Structures are given as structure tokens and as C-alpha cells.
Structure 1
Amino acid sequence: MAATGRIRGTRWPGAWRWRRNPLRRRSDRLEAWLVLGIWAFVLLAGVLGGRAVAGVVDQALAAHRARSHAARAVLTQDAGRTSGALPGYGEGGMWAQVSWTASGSPHTGLARVQPGAKAGTAVTVWTDRSGALVSRPATADQARTQAQVVGTLAGMAAAAGVLVCGRLLRGRLDRRRMEAWDREWEWVGPQWRRTAG
């Protein structure tokens, strides 16, 4: 243990900016506050941004779940045995023509079904209030997981954005410090060379 009561190796790397030192410049103090502020904003942006985005995603998925209704449909054609792609309906699914009744009127459309299903087979489709086909809504657990993943990614992006802005500010501060050192050297350099020679 050192005479000052500190344990060796417990200092954090940026602590020198906070200690009293006759060589510490105004820009060093400014940088210390800047670094502290950047990390505070990184935490705030990450947590608050992530939570806000997760909440929005969760609400959107809950709204989709509330507007979607399961309906009984019937295949109007045999489904193929191999998956195929249909323009506008995505890749790799088994799509077949189905018909269903919603609000008293008949509807037809393409729905994803089991490969090899025969015409007349009952399938479940998801519709909105008007009876149009919609994608199957995420369950509450799936929605929670999706919201957490998207919220985490958004929080990380927000934190990274703050870090990048902070790095740009520190770079500008470094350039100003170098310019100040150049000006000081222009004044001190000739005097030092005279005394050294």
C-alpha cells in the first residue's frame, strides 16, 4: 500500500484529468467533463432508446394481434408437393388458393399450407376486420422476444451514435490542443534553441 493510502493499480485510466496538477490545461479539464458526459449519454441513450423502441414494437405487435382473427378456410386447389416461390408472396413457402367467408361475404386468396394438401382440406387463415388476409400475428411471448431484440439493437445503435459523436468532439479538442502546442512551440522553440546552443 502506498503512503497516500491508495492501493497500487486501482486508478482508472482517465483519473489524471481530475487530479490537481500544474501542467493540467483547461482543455484537459474540458476533456474530463466531456468524457464523463459522453458515457452518461451513452448509458441514457442506450437504455432509454432501447426501451422506447421496444415499447413501440411491442405495441405495434399487440395492435396487429388485436386486429387479426383466425378464420376457417378451404383449399380450392391441390397444394404442390415441393415448395415454390410466388411473386409478391415470399420465397420457399407452399402457397395454395383458399376460400373463406368473412362478414357474410366470400373471399379468396393465397395462403401457406402443408405440402401435398388436397382441395377441400380445411386450413386456418388470419384475416383483418374487413376479411382480408393478413400475416399470422406473433404470440405474446414471440412479441416480447421480438421487442426485446429490436429494443436491444436500437439501444446499441443509439449508444454507438453517441460514442461516435463523442469521438468526433474529442478529435476536435485534440486538434485544438495540437494547434495550441504548435503556437506555444513557435514562441518557446527559438528561446530553447538559443539556450541549448
Structure 2
Amino acid sequence: MRALGGLWRWRRNPLRRTTDLIEAWLALTAVLLVLLAAPLAGIAVGGAAHRALQQSVRDQREARHQVVATVIRRLDRSPLDPDPETSSTRDAHSRVLARWTGPDRTARHGTVMADLRVPRRGDRFIVWTDRHGRIAGRPLDSATATTHAFLAGFGAAAATAGLVEGGRRLIVWRMVLRRYARWDRAWDRAGPDWGRTGTGS
């Protein structure tokens, strides 16, 4: 709205300079680009990210499998584990030695993190493995993928708006520097005679 007001104010103003009109048109162009280009960039990037992430969701669901593991014994806490007295429910995992059978019917065993606060021998819990029974991370879920895609689109839109505004500010800054330089040259020409009798000032 300020851009439109600037254009209207300078429309027939006798004090209008060419640079004033350029600045007003530049502001209007920047507003239109932010309103049009930024959302389009966000939609394009968000859509591409969404398609790629949903494909990752499908691939991971095909490649990873839930299997039931059985606790052999609990392992001591590592020095990097959180303090048990200050740990939250997020930290309620225990490091255990466990055995499981992979999707290819291969018997496996190893150290895993069990979703058990106090694991005992024979306790069962779920782990994610690849096709060969090796421990793998939980696959990405569709909702998380959608959230990441939305954030990517929002970031692209914000970056586009920032680039447009940054470009506008840079151009205006260069114009102001040139204006000051012209003023300095004009003052230098008028300076030696400024205020003297008979110089017409």
C-alpha cells in the first residue's frame, strides 16, 4: 500500500525527481513479486519436497520391517547416557543385548535400545530391521514427511521474499548514494561563492 501511495503522491508533484518515481515503481514491483513469486516458489519447492519425501516413506516401508526381539540381558549404562534421575520419558530406553529373527529367517543378536524402562531377561519388544535382519531406524511416517515438505516450502517462500526485499533495498541504497554524490558536486560548485556579496545568493 505504501508503494501505491508513493506512486500516487509523485504522480503530478512539481518536486518529483526521476529517482523518486523509480523508487516508487521499484517498491510496487517488489510488493507484487513478494505477493506472487514468493508463494509460487514455496508451492514449487514444497511440492517437490513432498513428492520426494513421500517416495522415501514408501521406499522405507518396503525396506524396513518390524520384528519382535527378546532381551538376553541388560547392559550397563554408557557414560553418555542421561542421568536416570533427570531423564524424561523420551529417555526411557535401555541398552540391552537381544536376539531376534530377521524377515529372511536369519537369527540375529546384538546390542539395541529397548523401549523398556526396566528390561528383564525374556522381555519382548519391537525393533525395526532391514530385509536381512540388520537393525534399522524407524521408517519416516507420512505426517512427518508432510511437515518437512511444508517447512521446505515455507522456507523457500520466505527466502524468495527476502531476496526480493534485499534486492530492492540494495538498488535504493545505490540510488541514494548517487543522489548524495550529485548533491556534493552541486555544493562544491556553489561553495566558493556561497554567502558573498554580489554573487546573486
Contact 1:70 1:124 survives alignment (8 Å): no
The one-letter code sitting in structure 1 at the alignment partner of 2:147 is: T
3-state DSSP of counterpart to 1:21: coil
Contact 1:127 1:133 survives alignment (8 Å): yes
Q: 1:39 to 1:128 in 2, by over 3 A?
A: farther
Q: Of residues 74, 77, 83 in structure 1, which corresponds to 2:72?
A: 77
How many aligned positions are there?
183
3-state DSSP of counterpart to 2:135: coil
Matches within 5 A, 1:4-83: 13-16=5-8, 18-66=10-58, 67-68=60-61, 69-79=64-74
Q: In structure 2, what is the Cα distance between the partners aligned to 1:132 and 1:97? A: 14
Identical-residue share of aligned pairs (%)? 32
Q: In structure 2, what is the Cα distance between the partners aligned to 1:65 and 1:160? A: 32
Q: Which residue of 1 aligns with 2:172?
A: 170
Q: Stretches of 4+ moved more than 6 A in 1?
A: 80-84
Q: In structure 2, what is the Cα distance between the partners aligned to 1:58 and 1:14? A: 40
Instruction: Please report the RMSD computed on the Cα atoms of aligned residues, expressed in angstroms.
Output: 3.5
Q: 1:166 to 1:12 in 2, by over 3 A?
A: closer
Matched, 1:96 2:83: no
Q: 1:97 to 1:180 in 2, by over 3 A?
A: farther
Q: 1:62 to 1:77 in 2, by over 3 A?
A: farther
Which segments of 5 or more consecutive residues in structure 2 lack a partner in the other structure?
82-89
How many Å apart are 1:51 and its aligned residue?
Answer: 2.3
TM-score, normalization: structure 1?
0.70
Q: In structure 2, what is the Cα distance between the partners aligned to 1:97 and 1:137? A: 23
Contact 1:100 1:107 survives alignment (8 Å): yes
